[in-house]
């Protein structure tokens, strides 16, 4: 009943959906050249043979799936992979990083005609759903076609769990359509079972299997020459409000650390010019990477507002604050700086990575701070104590490497479906 009501509402809301999508296009949040893909019109031909469809909402989910995609393609020569996401940034990254026999398309909006157009063209043999983006029309149509679905890296945050408990009539039949649910943790598994999922196994977080972020070695050498021996730190994947906090920490520490350079890499690079303008109004000297502005000795803050270069800056900076954690966002991925030996700092809002955060705390692999004052204090400690930086960095790297076997476990669980033995 609830699904039929949702389906009817998405049809009736077609004019409103068109207005919403138009606003997104004008804001640069939709790809104008590939926009028909969002309406279910394919932008490429379907490859011959078995096609595995991997869906992730955005950048984090798509990047987490890359090791799994590479693994299943390496071991199965006839297999092809279709990756869908919903954001422009994720599409650009996938264009750069997907291996041969894998291609990207934008996910169709959850309207019946768009969903049918997508599925009629691509006819996937298996659907791997990454994390917890459950679209009722899309999942219902997949079930109706008899396409096996597996939830990979399943996660159910506190907020999502509370919301779905109020809509059990919607979520229960959707979860019931998954042949297998591979959850990140026991807590996620318990919540999925409570909401109606059947075969659920806590198998670990796929993000543990990712390789270190890539780097352009020539660009890294150039930056190391530019910063020379200056003390520096990185505020990575920041969200609105955190750049101001980072700038305040810079000002508080600059006198004790002559030549201090603060690097800010915003989660959404398109915010770079706005961030730079705001910090310049406070009197700081700011250079913008997207504009090609150099780092000379006068620069206080360097805005790293480019796509796909976070690995460059994690290698450059010995200390990294991971954003989305001093504001109520839920945190970003601690494993990325940890794999590269950074001393890691994060705020209290880490619900998106709760299990990892606990592991880092137990190993003293990260410092949790409550606010801007705490960030300043932690930075002061680490910038002034090279031995502590090295200890923290080594502990962080050990935590990141501890779950390396998760990819083997996930591939083993998927093997019956990938090899045609399960349906």
Residues catalogued as catalytic: 61
34's tokens: 């590939």
In 111-231, which ranges are E strands?
126-130, 149-154, 180-183, 200-202
φ, ψ (nearest 5 deg) of residue 262: -105, 125
State the DSSP string of 138-150: HHHHHHHTT--EE
How do beta strands 126-130 and 149-154 pair?
parallel
The H or E element spanning position 262 is: strand 261-266
What crossing angle do the helices spanning 112-122 and 136-144 adopt, rounded to 10°?
Answer: 40
The span from the CA of 77 to the CA of 416, in Å, is 16
User: Which of these, 392, 4, 345, 353, lies nearest to 173 by C-alpha position?
Assistant: 4
398's tokens: 């050990």
Residue 150 near residue 181 (C-beta atoms within 8 A): yes
What crossing angle do the helices spanning 158-165 and 168-176 adopt, rounded to 10°?
Answer: 110
The span from the CA of 231 to the CA of 384, in Å, is 9
End-to-end CA distance of the chain: 27
Residue 201 near residue 181 (C-beta atoms within 8 A): yes
155: Cα separation from own chain's centroid: 13
State the DSSP string of 315-366: HH-SEEEESSTTTTT----SHHHHHTT-EEEE-S--GGGHHHHHHHHHTT-E
23's tokens: 């606003």
User: Which of these, 127, 95, 124, 105, lies nearest to 40 by C-alpha position?
Assistant: 105
What is the three-class DSSP state of 293?
coil
């Amino acid at each position: 009943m609830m699904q039929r009501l949702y389906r009817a509402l998405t049809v009736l809301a077609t004019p409103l959906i068109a207005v919403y999508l138009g606003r997104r296009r004008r804001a640069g949040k939709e790809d104008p050249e590939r926009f028909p893909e969002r309406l279910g019109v394919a932008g490429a031909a379907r490859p011959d043979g078995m096609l595995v469809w991997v869906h992730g909402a955005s950048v984090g989910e798509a990047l987490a799936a890359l090791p799994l995609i590479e693994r299943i393609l390496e071991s199965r020569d006839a297999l092809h992979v279709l990756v869908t996401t919903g954001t422009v940034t994720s599409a650009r990254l996938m264009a750069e990083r997907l291996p041969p026999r894998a291609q990207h398309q934008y996910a169709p909006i959850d309207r019946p005609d768009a969903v049918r157009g997508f599925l009629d063209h691509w006819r996937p043999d298996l659907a791997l759903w990454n994390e917890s983006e459950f679209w009722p029309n899309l999942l219902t149509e997949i079930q109706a076609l008899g396409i096996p679905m597996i939830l990979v890296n399943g996660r159910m945050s506190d907020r999502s769990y509370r919301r779905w408990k109020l809509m059990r009539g919607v979520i229960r039949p959707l979860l019931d359509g998954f042949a297998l649910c591979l959850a990140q943790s026991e807590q996620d598994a318990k919540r999925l079972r409570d909401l109606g999922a059947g075969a659920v196994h806590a198998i670990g977080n796929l993000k543990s299997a990712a390789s270190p972020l890539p780097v352009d070695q020539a660009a890294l050498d150039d930056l190391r020459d530019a910063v020379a021996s200056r003390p520096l730190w990185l505020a990575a994947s920041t969200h609105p409000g955190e750049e101001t906090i980072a700038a305040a920490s810079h000002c508080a520490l600059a006198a004790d650390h002559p030549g201090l350079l603060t690097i800010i890499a915003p989660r959404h690079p398109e915010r770079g010019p706005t961030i730079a303008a705001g910090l310049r109004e406070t009197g700081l000297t700011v250079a913008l990477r997207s504009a090609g502005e150099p780092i000379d000795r006068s620069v206080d803050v360097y805005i790293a507002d480019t796509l796909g270069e976070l690995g460059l800056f994690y290698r450059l900076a010995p200390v990294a604050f991971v954003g989305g954690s001093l504001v109520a966002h839920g945190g970003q991925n601690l494993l990325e700086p940890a794999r590269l030996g950074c001393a890691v700092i994060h705020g209290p809002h880490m619900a998106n990575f709760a299990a990892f955060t606990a592991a880092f705390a137990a190993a003293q692999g990260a410092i949790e701070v409550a606010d801007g004052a705490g960030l300043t204090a932690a930075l002061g400690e680490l910038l002034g104590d090279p031995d502590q930086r090295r200890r923290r960095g080594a502990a962080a790297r050990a935590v990141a490497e501890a779950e390396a076997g998760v990819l083997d476990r996930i591939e083993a669980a998927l093997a019956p479906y990938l090899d045609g033995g399960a349906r």
